[in-house]
């Protein structure tokens, strides 16, 4: 659980405004309701947005740092989502909503009209008031009162004035805590996340909306496991007679541990090593000589990655950041197509499982709720270790059985089964 707004945005206490904005955008990509169908994502998104609105304003941030998180939230905010979504479990759970009733605030424009490029706003909390006006500008006094939780805002080219209360008892020039006020050169704080969903935009499409509502994490994990299991099935089919011989030997050894160890370590009984099997697999005849063929396949994967980076740079202005599920799907398709051509489904599954497990565990841990351990990734790395042992001519029949069969099957089924049980039964 997070302790305060800095922890919520995963930034240090001395973070710059640019760092706050970058962290907020990363959190929006995770929790925005258009991208996350978790029931708690909307509440988490509200909390993240509140944190950005407060820390993104120097005056509010100074007040937040001076009062501390607990006092600031109790005295100057309302409308935060349920505390169990983001607040620390060590926080005092005995405070009711009635104990933290927000203060009534009245916002008054004391001398408030401004010319292009300037803004003025005033606010009072209880009996306190502050006034702001533009230098050399005549103004007329206006007064307005807004109830707690409501915000009134206006925006013009180069100028802005705000009145209202809402989530905080004070206002600073050119902003409201709901993020709906525009100033010269700025836009809504959540515009980046919702621009594609505006009417006429790319997101204004039934297929795109359907796609965004889907959660592909669990199907991707199951798919990688099934691809690997199909590879094992093909390996067993290619070594059927040798496996029959091994089965007879193991049956003769019975349940004696020493006899079983001796049987598994005395030879391979004609069973191909994993590398020999991969090298012999040929789905289609390579149209190029082997070095060029492998280089072309690697280039296809590299081109896919460069394309995704280019899309990020164009869309977000930033090529680095958490990998989205959509990007994961694209990369997985490219990796599957190339690895199947090289070594069949056994190689494809051995590469897909650790890649998808790692990305999806990371993606899940960044969201609210369950935080699966990265230890789920360790057993599905075993096939790649087995390929390395075989390439170094250090693999035995026993080691192949352990790293190619037992560990990836048991470990590979662990995460999807755990996620499926949690999804359907909540355990």
10-21 pLDDT, tens per residue? 888 888 888 898
**Sign of the CA dihedral 93, 58, 62, 139?**
negative
Residue 300 CA, chain-centre distance (Å), reads 26
Rounded average pLDDT over 110-136: 35
Output the pTM of the full model: 0.57
CA distance 118 to 156: 11
Q: Given its phi and psi angles, is residue 212 left (phi above 0), alpha (psi -120 to 50 degrees) or beta?
A: alpha
Half-sphere exposure of 307 toward its Cβ, with a 13 Å CA cutoff?
A: 10
pLDDT tens profile 368-414: 678 899 999 999 999 999 999 999 999 989 999 999 999 999 999 99
* pLDDT exceeds cutoff 90 at 321: no
CA distance 214 to 209: 9
Confidence of residue 162 (pLDDT cuts 50, 70, 90): very low
Mean pLDDT score of the chain: 73
CA distance 119 to 174: 6
pLDDT tens profile 244-279: 999 999 998 888 888 888 888 888 899 999 999 999
* pLDDT recorded at residue 324: 83
* pLDDT recorded at residue 80: 53
Rounded average pLDDT over 187-203: 44
* pLDDT recorded at residue 350: 96
CB of 164 closer than 8 Å to CB of 147: no
Residue with token string 């935080």: 371
* pLDDT recorded at residue 359: 92
CA distance 95 to 70: 11
Rounded average pLDDT over 151-156: 35
CA distance 166 to 171: 10
Nearest to 54 by CA among 41, 39, 66, 40: 66
Q: Given its phi and psi angles, is residue 303 left (phi above 0), alpha (psi -120 to 50 degrees) or beta?
A: alpha
* pLDDT recorded at residue 221: 92
* pLDDT recorded at residue 2: 55
* pLDDT recorded at residue 81: 47
* pLDDT exceeds cutoff 80 at 183: no
Residues whose CB falls within 8 Å of the CB of residue 291, separated by 6 or more in sequence, listed in order:
none
* pLDDT recorded at residue 273: 92
Rounded average pLDDT over 154-164: 35
Distances (CA, A) of 258 to 50, 103, 254, 320: 65, 77, 10, 54
Rounded average pLDDT over 422-426: 78
Residue with token string 């899309």: 311
Overall size of the chain counted in residues: 427
CA distance 31 to 97: 25
- pLDDT, greater one: 332 or 138: 332
Structure-token pair, residue 200:
């006429």
* pLDDT recorded at residue 105: 34
Residues whose CB falls within 8 Å of the CB of residue 76, separated by 6 or more in sequence, listed in order:
63, 67, 102, 103, 168, 169, 170
* pLDDT recorded at residue 192: 42
Nearest to 5 by CA among 83, 74, 86, 95: 86
Rounded average pLDDT over 168-190: 36
pLDDT tens profile 202-246: 555 788 778 877 888 889 999 999 999 999 999 999 999 999 999
* pLDDT recorded at residue 235: 95
* pLDDT exceeds cutoff 50 at 138: no
CB of 323 closer than 8 Å to CB of 308: no
* pLDDT recorded at residue 286: 87
Confidence of residue 60 (pLDDT cuts 50, 70, 90): confident
* pLDDT recorded at residue 380: 95
CB of 5 closer than 8 Å to CB of 168: no
- pLDDT, greater one: 266 or 113: 266
* pLDDT exceeds cutoff 50 at 166: no
R_g (Cα) of the chain, nearest Å: 30
């Amino acid at each position: 659980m997070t302790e305060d707004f800095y922890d919520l945005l995963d930034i240090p206490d001395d973070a710059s405004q640019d760092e706050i904005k970058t962290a907020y955008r990363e959190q929006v990509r995770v929790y925005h309701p258009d991208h996350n169908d978790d029931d708690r994502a909307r509440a988490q998104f509200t909390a993240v947005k509140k944190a950005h609105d407060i820390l993104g304003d120097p005056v509010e941030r100074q007040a937040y740092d001076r009062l501390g998180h607990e006092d600031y939230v109790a005295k100057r905010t309302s409308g935060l989502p349920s505390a169990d979504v983001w607040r620390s479990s060590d926080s005092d759970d005995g405070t009711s909503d009635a104990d933290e009733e927000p203060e009534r605030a009245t916002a008054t424009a004391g001398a408030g009209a401004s010319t292009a490029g300037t803004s003025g706003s005033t606010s009072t909390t209880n009996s306190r008031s502050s006034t702001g006006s533009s230098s050399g500008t005549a103004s007329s006094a206006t007064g307005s009162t807004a109830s707690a939780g409501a915000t009134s805002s206006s925006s013009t080219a180069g100028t802005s004035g705000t009145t209202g209360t809402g989530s905080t008892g004070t206002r600073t020039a050119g902003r409201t805590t709901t993020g709906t006020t525009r100033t010269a050169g700025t836009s809504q704080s959540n515009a980046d996340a919702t621009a594609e969903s505006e009417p006429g935009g790319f997101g204004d499409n039934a297929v795109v909306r359907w796609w965004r509502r889907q959660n592909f994490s669990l199907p991707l994990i199951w798919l990688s496991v099934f691809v690997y299991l199909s590879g094992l099935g093909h390996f067993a089919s290619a070594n059927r007679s040798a496996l029959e011989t091994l089965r007879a030997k193991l049956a003769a050894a019975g349940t004696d541990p020493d006899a079983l160890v001796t049987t598994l370590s005395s030879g391979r009984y004609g069973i191909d090593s994993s590398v020999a099997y991969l090298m012999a697999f040929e789905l289609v005849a390579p149209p190029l000589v082997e070095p060029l063929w492998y280089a072309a396949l690697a280039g296809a994967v590299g081109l896919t990655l460069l394309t995704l980076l280019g899309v990020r740079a164009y869309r977000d202005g930033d090529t680095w950041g958490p990998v989205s599920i959509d990007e994961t799907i694209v990369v997985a398709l490219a990796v599957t197509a190339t690895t199947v051509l090289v070594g069949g489904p056994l190689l494809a599954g051995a590469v897909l499982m650790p890649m998808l497990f790692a990305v999806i565990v990371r993606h899940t841990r960044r969201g609210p709720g369950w935080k699966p351990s990265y230890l789920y990734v360790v057993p599905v790395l075993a096939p790649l270790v087995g390929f390395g042992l075989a390439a170094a001519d250090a693999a035995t029949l026993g080691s192949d059985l352990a790293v190619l069969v037992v560990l990836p099957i048991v470990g590979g089924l662990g995460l999807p089964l755990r996620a499926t049980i949690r999804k359907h039964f909540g355990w």
